Amino acid sequence: MAVILAVMLVISSLAAFVAYESVQRNRLGYIGIEVDKEVFTSEEDVTFRLVSLSRNAEFNITDRWNDDVDDDFYRGLDLVRVPDIMDAETFLDDLSSLDYLRNHNTYVPLGRAFFDHFDSQDDSLQVTWNGTVVKEYWDGNGSFLRYSPAVSGFYVIVPRNSWSADHKVSFLVNERSVFYYDSLDVGMKVTNHIEEDVTVELTLRAPPWTIDNVTCDLDLVLYYQGSIFEPAEDEDAHHYEEKSIVLNPGQDRVRTLVFNVSIPDHGYAPPGTEGLHNRYFSTLTIDVVLTTTIGTYVTGLSAIWDGGWDYQYQY
């Protein structure tokens, strides 16, 4: 009887140990993303930390989702710009903002911060962003990446491309993952005068660390397709160029541009339909290139109008 009880105790202990190990192996590891401070200037690197927030949860992540792809375009943590029309302090409180981050187009210029690996044995890991955004371009030789200095704005760090071999991690993105980057400022206010025209007000300012004036050439392209149910009478792309704009330190340069683009209040209804159902919304995109004496900056946005602007991205 004693032997049987001893065997049963051993079996129970082994079963409990196996169950415990199984639970530990399947525990979810939580990783926080915390910036070192709330405001960075473009003359310094942005530093933040990956912080392990779980005990007894094993994980090992890298900054690439596919080990067979050795390309910066598919590596790193994304740094996504918060649209200017959104309140950065409450941005992450809105579920639609989370969808905005999750669905942010990979082919839109994004900041990328690289690291080697981070595992459950580390308490924290410092990661650095060098203040550039990267975009994929194409030419006769194929695709290539071009890095450009980032413009001013609020940015949030998004671990979209980071990958864990065991899929047992969850990143916590909160207010500590958001910071302001003070660089060359390109404020962009877009006003839709319904079914009349679109006004783009650009507010330009040199980076805060500059002492001398900064001269720049402005190249802006506004694209709007209009209704797909009606033949287009005008070109979809509208261009604006201006040379040798002088930006003084601490002083705004404002350009108000009016484009002959007619956008309805609530999209386009298919022929033969009534009401607001199944309507088509054409996307307005604006791409800006500022060629300056201190570098070439790119910025832009994409949005649809449905009684107000719904931003798909801003960079």
Helix or strand (DSSP H, E) at 80: strand 77-81
Burial of 297 (0-12, 13-18, 19+ CB in 10 A): buried
Q: What are phi and psi of 253, to 5 degrees?
A: -115, 120
The pLDDT value recorded for residue 167 is 64
Q: Give the pTM.
A: 0.85
Q: Which residue has the tokens 């003359």?
A: 43
Domain boundaries, the chain: 28-182, 185-314
For the chain, the farthest-separated pair of C-alpha atoms sits apart, in whole angstroms, at 97
Cα–Cα distance, 171 to 103 (Å, whole number) = 16
What CATH number does domain 185-314 carry, 3.40.50.10490, 2.60.40.420, 3.90.1010.10, 2.60.40.10?
2.60.40.10
Indicate the residue type of 272.
G
Low-confidence residues of the chain: pLDDT under 50: 3, 5-25
Tokens of 191: 């006003």
The pLDDT value recorded for residue 24 is 43
Helix or strand (DSSP H, E) at 2: helix 2-25
214 with 247: CB under 8 angstroms? yes
The pLDDT value recorded for residue 26 is 53
The pLDDT value recorded for residue 73 is 66
260 with 234: CB under 8 angstroms? yes
